[in-house]
Amino acid sequence: MMTDLIDVLDEAGLRTGEVLPRTEIHRLGKRHRAVRIYLFNARNELLLQRRASTVDHAPNVFSISVVGHVNAGEYSALTVRRELAEELGVDAAHRPIDFLFSYYQEAILNDTYIDRQFNDIYMLRADLDLADFHVDSREVAEVKFVPFVEFLAMLEDASSVMARVYGQECRDLVYFMEKSGAG
């Protein structure tokens, strides 16, 4: 497996010129950029993925549709399309994907996984069914669609097997959902 190389960013989110492997970025707690994609079907249900047991961050829990790091030299709009193809088998070349907002988040998961990242949040609306996805089983154990309100309830429920890191961004996501009439 090829090592993912990631650009180290400064406090403003700009490249410093330093490039490190993904494991080193997290071990050293260096700032970097990631994308998060919320994929909604024609029924306004959100696609969730259960992360594989072998991943190094939040194994066996549900996550949003797609999450991925921006590789060195890449920009986030390209990462979104690459990650949709890699994790879900979705060709997004001609699909309109909306950029919603960015924000910075820090989380210390353990001594060797310090996450300091700028998150670029995207939304994709597509008439897709579960049969349309071809997941990478090294990263994704399963996918399912849930109504958006159920997703929000999962974030609030301490007993839920939902990764908690999405609660912060959901305030703004709810705003965009209401503004579009889908919330």
Identify the residue whose tokens are 């991925």.
68
Query: Who's near 102: CB < 8 A, 6+ residues apart?
Result: 13, 118, 119, 120, 121
Per DSSP (E only), the strands in 65-176 are 66-69, 97-110, 113-125, 140-147
> What's the CATH number where 36 sits?
3.90.79.10
Give the pLDDT band of residue 119 (cuts 50, 70, 90).
very high
Tell me the two tokens of residue 100: 């919603």
pLDDT of residue 110: 84
Contacting residues for 155 by C-beta, under 8 A, at least 6 apart: 162, 164, 166, 167, 170
Task: Give the total number of structural domains in the chain.
Answer: 1
- Domain coverage including residue 142: 5-179
- In three-state secondary structure terms, 151 is helix
Kindly calculate the radius of gyration of the chain based on its CA atoms and give it in whole angstroms: 16
The mean pLDDT value for 96-101 works out to 94
Q: What is the pLDDT of residue 1?
A: 42
The tokens describing 166, both together, are 């999405």
Task: Kindly report the pTM of this predicted structure.
Answer: 0.91
Q: Which two tokens stand for residue 157?
A: 């429920």
Q: What is the pLDDT of residues 13-66, one digit of tens each?
A: 999 999 999 999 999 999 999 999 999 999 989 999 998 888 877 788 899 999
